[in-house]
Amino acid sequence: NFLLSITHELKSPLSGIRLILETFQKRRELKPEIQQKLSTNALTETDRLTSLVNDLLLSAKLEQAYQINEEEIDLGTLIHEAADTVAMKYKSANIHVDIEAGVGMVKGDRLGLTSVAVNLMENAAKYSQPEPVIHTSLQRGGASELIWEVSDNGMGIPDREKHRVFTKFYRIGNEDTRTTKGTGLGLFIVNQLVEKHNGQLELKDNMPKGTTFRIYLPTT
């Protein structure tokens, strides 16, 4: 499954970029609006490739020598920024952010926690089509703990799969029937990063449908 998935995820954007470059090469007198559209598509495919390479490198580092670059972070602001990033990519997604007043300061790795936020919300958007509704919240869980949740209205994860989705390269279903893009690295990365921050990650069913990821993180 991994070989099928990674081959598709690498070849698809490369094929798209090649086709666009060939179009520019063969048709030098393109209308400005067509040039703009093709350039935008090429940049999108390049971003997709870059994201894949970054995930592959990060997953390898997490198993070997990943070091937390610890600093004091306003997690509430980070979540808002990640939500804006995902909303720009998934135009149909309706993302609600609820941050409890006066909470959000943690000691952690900014890039790592951003990866957690973006991966969870992108997963929620991908698996909740055609009209994703995503809720992410941050609140106090005690004197020295924050509770961070990301919920969606998607297809959900069967009980038999819940313990497997955090495994590297694992994806629900099979590559021949699956329609969503991905390599099965996102939730592996999320789980590893939460552990690196001395946190805990829970996976639950959302009601009436969908999935909820709950993260417990120590505060500063």
Q: 54-76: per-residue pLDDT in tens?
A: 877 788 788 777 777 899 999 99
User: Model-level pTM greater than 0.85?
Assistant: no
The predicted structure's pLDDT at residue 174: 44
Give the sign of the dihedral formed by CA 199, CA 204, CA 208, CA 209: positive
Cα(125)–Cα(95) distance, rounded to whole angstroms?
A: 9
Segment 26-44 mean pLDDT? 89
pLDDT-derived band of residue 168, with 50, 70 and 90 as boundaries?
confident
Please give the average per-residue pLDDT across 23-27, as a whole number: 89
Statement: residue 206 has pLDDT above 70: yes
- Mean pLDDT, all residues of the chain: 86
Residue 77 tokens read as 């602001």
Rounded to the nearest 10 degrees, the angle between the axes of helix 32-63 and helix 2-26 is 150
The total of other beta-carbon atoms located within 10 Å of residue 119's CB is 22
Looking at residue 54, its pLDDT comes to 80
DSSP assignment of 65-99 = T----EEEEEHHHHHHHHHHHHHHH-TT-EEEEEE
pLDDT of 22 reads: 92
Name which of 105-109, 124-128, 168-172, 180-184 the model is least confident about.
Answer: 180-184
**Tokens 């520019």 belong to which residue?**
24
Instruction: Give the C-alpha separation, 212 to 135, whole Å.
Output: 9
